[in-house]
Structure formats: structure tokens, C-alpha cells
Amino acid sequence: MEPQRSFKINESMQDVYTISVNDHRNENSNNVVFQSKDSILSLDKEKIEGILKNDCGSHGEGVKHPTNFLETLMHLFKGNVGSGIFAMGDAFKNSGIVLGPVLLPILGLICVHSQHLLLNASLHVQDKLSLKKNPGFATTVELCVATGSPRLQKFAPLFRRLVNLFLCLTQFGFCCVYFVFISSNVKQIMDYYGYVYSVHLHMAVVLIPVLMSCLIRNLKYIAPLSTIANVVMLIGIAITLYYAAQPPHFPSPVFFADISQLPLFFGTALFAFEGIGLVLPLQNEMKNPKQFDSTCGVLNTGMTFVTFLYALVGILSYLKYGDTIHGSVTLDLPNDDILAQCVKAMISLGILFTFALQFYIPIDIMFPLIRKYFGPLRRPVITELVFRTAFVLITFTLAEIIPYLDLFITLVGAFSSTAVALIFPPILELITRKITPWILIKDVIILGIGLTGCITGSCESLRLIVKAFQKDGDL
């Protein structure tokens, strides 16, 4: 038997992907047998190369400035704490003040475990194909299926498309929520000073700066906006907690909400917890990647703090405002208080500056497909700007059609965030791991929770959206 050798995918990816192959093959064979713990695994070199080429845009360059433990922890915090934290009071309204603090950590634990499952699947692919870096989420899923059971290998491209579809739906859902969030908060401020206009008109005004920021094509120019957003969001959270902790409190909070409301709690919580897309790139960026998913590593430490912060905001907000709480607790702050008005303005500004970053992700997934299927483009820059403008207008239109912040959050969380956070990761473990009774039971439970929450949360959100439309039509 001849010794094992390695080959590079291509020059643009040579710092990232090196695949070990077994040179012991028949002379008439056109296939390359990838060295693997599974001795029957046989795949075309071109097939794996094609999968990795689709991912080279995200990981084709080496990390120039690797991050340490604390820096990565801050990135994880920034990626998970957004507009969803201000909806936690509404989530507790739909669970009850006793049930909410119990269910939220359990759901957080399941989400973090699912993130570990994704990291384990990525490690499995790296080990099997001798990759130096984590591929992206969709590429990891495709490679897991492509190198898994021969019966499933033909479905690998479908899995990739599904992951990208739900990632795009999640990110565009966030953008729709941002339109409603910003407009609702700005409307309250303007109403107090006598400029009373509909939330739809405020959205139209917000569209202008949103569109301008989304036309920025280079991610490095968006980063300063994100930094400003992080600062104002932290200040806004601190002041919101200050207001929520002040007496008097709501006289009769519900201890256990009706079971029909739990799907809404599920959707809101998943909307807040949906940060699974961050884990692979954050681990890639670290000086010592093993510190990311260790027992006391970045992921467990960071998400423990995030879950505690969510619970704190949810408990204090619901105890303060009770069943009258809005989809964002910022809308319950005093309208005639200057500090409260500043908080609403700051958080709206922070969300506005975050919009372009959230929007960048689905565009980065979709526009390469435009170049692939319709290229070569005569005017690629103009084409991309038109493409970006079209999708900003689509998210704006959806937000105009459904201007109900709380229901939009639960719909996005229940439908798209659930698929990304709770459905794909356990499927990956079932594909890549030797199935034991414990793994089978655990993953079936997670899949059951994800599918049940997705279906019931989406249906209940849509039912209440229709009901809200009917109510507005009767006015």
C-alpha cells in the first residue's frame, strides 16, 4: 500500500482546506477515496472540491488578528444581545412569572447544546477531510451529509439549500422586526411632541437611512456602525433595567399562563437566542479554538450570562408592566420622561446601525448565486446595488403589511429561527455519530420540541396576526 498524501483544493483556498486522500485505488477508477474512520466512504474529489469552493468566500483568508478568550466572549455577547432582549417581558407574559424563569434556562440549555452539536459536526468534517478551519454552517451541513450514509449523500445539496433558506428567512425576519421596532419607538417620541403620524409613515422615513446603510458593500465599512450600536445598546439595556426595577409594580402578575400562550413564549425566546450562525466563525477567529467549546469556555460562559440577562430583563419587565407590556419593553417607558425618550432614541439608533450587518448575511448568501447563474454580469456593482435595494424594499413592504412587533417576533422566532437552532443540529449528530440509545432519545426530544414549537408557534402567531387585522378593520 502506498503512503497517504495530501492535495490542495486550489490556490485561493490553500491556507484553509487540505484534504487527505488514500492513494491505494484501482488504476481505472476515477474516484478519490477520502481517508476516513468509515472505511466504506468513497466520494469524488471534484464533488468535495465543489462543496468547499462554495464556502471559500467566508473562510478563504487567514485570520490576521486572532481573538483571545475575552475578545471572543464580547463578540458572542454582541451577537446574541439585540432587539430580542427587550421582548423578554412579553415572553414572560405568555408563560407566567413562575413558569417563564424555569422554561427560559431550559430552552437556553437546549440551544447551547445544539450549538455544541454544530461544532462537533464541524470537527467531525475537519477530522474526516483534514480541514484546517471550520467551514460555514451550510457547508458543514452539506459535507456531513455528503460524507455520511450513502443513502443520504444525494440529498447533500438539498440540505445546504434548506440551511441557507432558513438562514436568509431568519435574517430578513430580523430586518422586518427592526423596521417595526424603530418606527414604533420613534412614533412614541414624535407623538409626545405633537407630531402624530401613523407608524407606516414613520417606516417610510426610516427606510431612507436603512437603504443607504444597506448599499454599503464592504463589511469593514459596516463595522464602525456595529461598534456604535453595541455601545448604545448596552447603555439602553442598563437604563431600561433601572426603569423596570422602580416601583410601583403591576398588582397581579400571572403565575402560570394558559397553555395556548406557550407557543408565543417559545417563538419570542427562540428569536432572542438565535445566534447559532456565529459559533463557527467565532471559533475560527480564536488564537486557541479549543477554548471556545470547552466546559468553561467562551460558549458556555457567554451563553450562561446571556441567559441570566434575558431572565433578569424578562422578570423585571413583566413584574413592572404585567399583561399591559408591549412587544418591546421600551414602548412601556414613560412618554413624558426625557431620559426614557433618550433611551428609546438610543436603542432605535443602535438597531438602525445593526440593520446593515444583519442584512449583509443573506445578501452574501444569495448574490453569489446570481453571479453563478446569470454571470458574467456586465455591470456587477450596479446589479448588486439593485439587488440590495430590491430586498430592502421587500423587507420594508412586509413590515408595512404586518406592523405588529410582538407577533412578528414570535413568527420569525418560531418558524425560521427554530429550524436553524433546534432542527438541523440534532440531525447532524444522527448523521455523524454512532447512534446510541441516549443519543437517539436526546435528539428525538430536541427535534420534537423544535418541530412542535415551530408548528404551534407559527400557527398561533399567524392566527393572532389575522385577528389583529380583523380588529383593525373593525375600527
pLDDT in tens, 334-357: 999 999 999 999 999 999 988 988
H or E element in which residue 6 lies: strand 5-8
Tell me, what's the pLDDT at 38?
A: 44
Tell me, what's the pLDDT at 470?
A: 85
Distance between CA 205 and CA 291 in Å, rounded? Answer: 45
DSSP-assigned states of every residue in 285-324: HBSSGGGTSSTTSHHHHHHHHHHHHHHHHHHHHHHHHGGG
Q: Which residue in this structure is represented by grid cell 432519545?
A: 441
Q: Quote the distance between the C-alpha of residue 288 and its chain's center.
A: 24
pLDDT digits (tens, 9 = 90+) for 159-195: 999 999 999 999 999 999 999 999 999 999 999 999 9
Distance between CA 183 and CA 199 in Å, rounded? Answer: 6
* CB-based contacts of 27, cutoff 8 Å, min separation 6: none
Tell me, what's the pLDDT at 136?
A: 84
Tell me, what's the pLDDT at 222?
A: 77
Distance between CA 240 and CA 227 in Å, rounded? Answer: 20
pLDDT digits (tens, 9 = 90+) for 69-89: 888 888 888 888 888 999 999
Distance between CA 315 and CA 100 in Å, rounded? Answer: 8
CB of 357 closer than 8 Å to CB of 184 = no
Tell me, what's the pLDDT at 364?
A: 87
DSSP-assigned states of every residue in 225-240: HHHHHHHHHHHHHHHH
Single out the residue of 1, 70, 74, 66 nearest to residue 33, CA to CA: 1
Assigned C-alpha cell, 373: 447563474
Distance between CA 363 and CA 354 in Å, rounded? Answer: 15
Helix, strand, coil percentages in the chain from 3-state DSSP, rounded to 5: 75, 5, 25
Tell me, what's the pLDDT at 18?
A: 41
Low-confidence ranges of the chain (pLDDT < 70): 1-46, 49-50, 53-64, 473-475
Q: CA neighbours within 13 Å on the CB side: how many for 298?
A: 30
Distance between CA 407 and CA 397 in Å, rounded? Answer: 16
Using a pLDDT cut of 70, give the percent of the chain over it.
87
pLDDT digits (tens, 9 = 90+) for 109-142: 999 999 999 999 999 888 888 787 778 888 999 9
CB of 20 closer than 8 Å to CB of 129 = yes
Single out the residue of 51, 43, 68 nearest to residue 13, CA to CA: 51
CA 136 vs CA 26, 164, 371: distances in Å? 34, 10, 20
Its pTM stands at: 0.84
